[in-house]
């Protein structure tokens, strides 16, 4: 396309230049015709040749090349007859032949026909094109280099920041926040990195809190066991005092055993979130059995549970769901007031079984409700020793409910009541 456009433009320019030469020859007076003719063919960059109807050369300007422009008889006849010739002329050289554009224009002078031929000087045209090409390529190289530097600063620098931040994160530094205003892919990548860093920061905090809580929960009974064991070994005491110390040691050992069992149970639930042995069973009967199994606890506090259980059949892991009712009912008995109230309900709404467990205990503050399902969280720290527990029961309950595709919610009015609502799909998901 470029060559075609250049050729068309060159032909038009040569025709225009030839017509100008013809006008100068036609307007020249006879006495100065030779001078005008010599000047007309002397044009740098072009070979101009004027011939008569027999092909004899009247004037020729070779622009210093020393080469004559060979005109074929067919090319001469076309122009002498009044036509304009557009074509090529071949220059015969020692090692190779070259072709160039050739334009032929007819004109008359003193009543006789003549032909004017114009062809560009190839070497000069080639040099001009080479200089033009080098200039363009140099400009492209310069501008391109500047653009690459700008692009490298705009693209590579954020990537370097991400790389450095990733290395810091690999060393355990999760407090990294990268700021960006970009909305392109690099901006999205930076936002994703910040989200990942925030998630890892939260996980690291949870891990640290978990380790600290486990250490605290283990340290307390171990301290009691160690202290009372030393007292038994070094002090003289009555049989009643000795039995009292042994009872405390036994209770603290059981506390450690429960903590170990709950940690193992929670770990298994987190690592295996799928149902292991799903079956269809009567949920109301299972809750009723859990109430009966906990009779010693609620009778000891003078509580008579209120039951309102509809016949509901669900599909799930019966053993793990039994742990849910055991934990919730045990919590209600622990925190219910003596001679207080405990109410357990079960009904079916659409495709879900809805169970409720309510007690009239001291309740939970509103700002603590969102934390009660966190491992080791205890809403009332003052009851740590008055009420036995390690803060894992509700975490296990939520893990089992989540495993079944259900939900659990807690509502509380401090000093009035606490209500847990569990929704379970009746059929498997």
Residue 313 lies in a domain: yes
What are the tens digits of pLDDT across the range 355-378?
999 988 888 888 788 778 877 666
The answer to whether residues 30 and 141 belong to one domain is: no
What are the tens digits of pLDDT across the range 215-268?
766 777 788 788 888 888 877 778 888 888 888 888 888 777 777 776 777 777
Which stretch of DSSP H or E encloses residue 298? helix 295-300
Residue 60 lies in a domain: yes
Lowest mean per-residue pLDDT among 88-92, 215-219, 275-279? 215-219
Residue 364 lies in a domain: yes
The answer to whether residues 40 and 158 belong to one domain is: no
The answer to whether residues 276 and 419 belong to one domain is: yes
Quick one: tokens of 158? 């954020």
- Checking if the pLDDT of 32 tops 50, the result is yes
- Distance separating alpha carbons of residues 60 and 46, to the nearest angstrom: 11
3-state SS class at 96: coil
**Cross-strand bridge partners of residue 420:** 357, 410
- How high is the pLDDT of residue 356? 93
Q: What are phi and psi of 57, to 5 degrees?
A: -85, 125
- Distance separating alpha carbons of residues 48 and 119, to the nearest angstrom: 7
The answer to whether residues 111 and 128 belong to one domain is: no
The answer to whether residues 284 and 143 belong to one domain is: no
The answer to whether residues 389 and 312 belong to one domain is: yes
Whichever domain contains 334, its CATH number is 3.30.565.10
The answer to whether residues 146 and 289 belong to one domain is: no
DSSP per residue, 244-295: HHHHHHHHHHHHHHHHHHHHHHHHHHHH--S-SSEEEEEHHHHHHHHHHHTH
Q: What are phi and psi of 385, to 5 degrees?
A: -100, -25
Residue 285 lies in a domain: yes
- Distance separating alpha carbons of residues 84 and 103, to the nearest angstrom: 7
The answer to whether residues 92 and 157 belong to one domain is: no
- CA distances to 213, 233, 380, 405 from 208, rounded to whole Å, are 9, 37, 22, 29
- How high is the pLDDT of residue 230? 84
Residue 251 lies in a domain: no
Which stretch of DSSP H or E encloses residue 97? strand 97-109
Residue 231 lies in a domain: no
- Distance separating alpha carbons of residues 31 and 12, to the nearest angstrom: 32
Mean per-residue pLDDT, 198-218: 74
What are the tens digits of pLDDT across the range 110-121?
888 999 988 886
Domain boundary pick from 96, 120, 144: 120
DSSP per residue, 306-367: EEEE---EEEEEHHHHHHHHHHHHHHHHHHSPTT--EEEEEEEETTEEEEEEEE-SS---GG
Dihedral, 353, 414, 301, 325 alpha carbons, nearest 10:
20
Residue 354 lies in a domain: yes
Q: Per-residue confidence at 213, pLDDT binned at 50, 70, 90?
A: low
- Spatial neighbors of 70 by CB under 8 A, at least 6 apart, are 89, 90, 91, 92
The answer to whether residues 84 and 136 belong to one domain is: no
**Cross-strand bridge partners of residue 306:** 343
CB-neighbour burial class of residue 217 (10 A; exposed 0-12, middle 13-18, buried 19+): buried
- Checking if the pLDDT of 296 tops 90, the result is no
pTM: 0.49
Q: Per-residue confidence at 2, pLDDT binned at 50, 70, 90?
A: low
The answer to whether residues 92 and 144 belong to one domain is: no
DSSP 372: T
Quick one: tokens of 239? 């049989």
- Distance separating alpha carbons of residues 192 and 155, to the nearest angstrom: 17
- Checking if the pLDDT of 307 tops 60, the result is yes
Quick one: tokens of 280? 């269809």
- Checking if the pLDDT of 385 tops 70, the result is no
Q: How does strand 278-282 pair with strand 57-61? A: unpaired
- How high is the pLDDT of residue 93? 67
Total structural domains within the chain: 3
Range of the domain at 144: 122-162
């Amino acid at each position: 396309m470029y060559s075609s456009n250049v050729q068309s433009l060159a032909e038009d320019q040569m025709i225009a230049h030839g017509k100008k030469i013809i006008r100068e020859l036609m307007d020249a007076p006879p006495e100065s015709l030779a001078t005008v003719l010599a000047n007309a063919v002397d044009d740098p960059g072009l070979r101009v040749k004027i011939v008569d109807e027999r092909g004899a050369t009247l004037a020729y300007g070779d622009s210093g090349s020393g080469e004559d422009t060979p005109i074929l008889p067919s090319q001469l006849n076309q122009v002498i007859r009044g036509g304009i010739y557009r074509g090529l002329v071949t220059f015969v050289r020692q090692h190779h032949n070259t072709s160039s554009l050739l334009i032929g224009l007819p004109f008359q002078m003193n009543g006789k026909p003549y032909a004017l031929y114009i062809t560009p000087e190839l070497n000069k045209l080639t040099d001009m094109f080479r200089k033009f090409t080098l200039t363009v390529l140099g400009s492209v190289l310069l501008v391109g280099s500047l653009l690459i530097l700008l692009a490298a600063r705009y693209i590579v620098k954020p990537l370097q920041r991400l790389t450095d931040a990733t290395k810091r994160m690999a060393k355990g530094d999760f407090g990294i926040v990268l700021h960006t205003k970009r909305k392109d892919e690099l901006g999205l990548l930076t936002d994703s990195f910040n989200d990942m860093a925030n998630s890892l920061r939260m996980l690291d905090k949870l891990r640290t809190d978990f380790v600290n809580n486990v250490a605290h929960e283990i340290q307390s009974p171990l301290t009691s066991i160690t202290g009372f064991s030393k007292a038994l070994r070094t002090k003289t005491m009555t049989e009643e005092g000795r039995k009292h110390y042994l009872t405390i040691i036994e209770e603290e050992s059981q506390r450690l055993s429960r903590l170990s069992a709950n940690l193992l149970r929670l770990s298994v639930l987190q690592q295996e979130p799928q149902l292991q042995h799903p079956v269809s069973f009567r949920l109301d009967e299972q809750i009723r059995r859990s109430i009966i199994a906990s009779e010693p606890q609620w009778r000891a506090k003078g509580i008579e549970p209120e039951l309102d259980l509809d016949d509901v059949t669900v599909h799930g892991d019966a053993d793990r769901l039994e742990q849910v009712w055991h934990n919730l009912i045990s919590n209600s008995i622990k925190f219910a007031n003596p001679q207080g109230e405990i109410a357990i309900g079960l009904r079916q709404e659409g495709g879900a079984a809805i169970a409720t467990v309510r007690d009239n205990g001291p309740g939970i503050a509103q700002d603590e409700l969102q934390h009660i399902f966190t491992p080791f969280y205890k809403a009332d720290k003052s009851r740590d020793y008055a009420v036995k527990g390690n803060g894992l029961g509700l975490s296990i309950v939520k893990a089992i409910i989540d495993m079944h595709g259900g939900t659990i919610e807690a509502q509380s009015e401090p000093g009035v009541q606490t209500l847990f609502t569990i929704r379970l799909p009746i059929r498997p998901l």
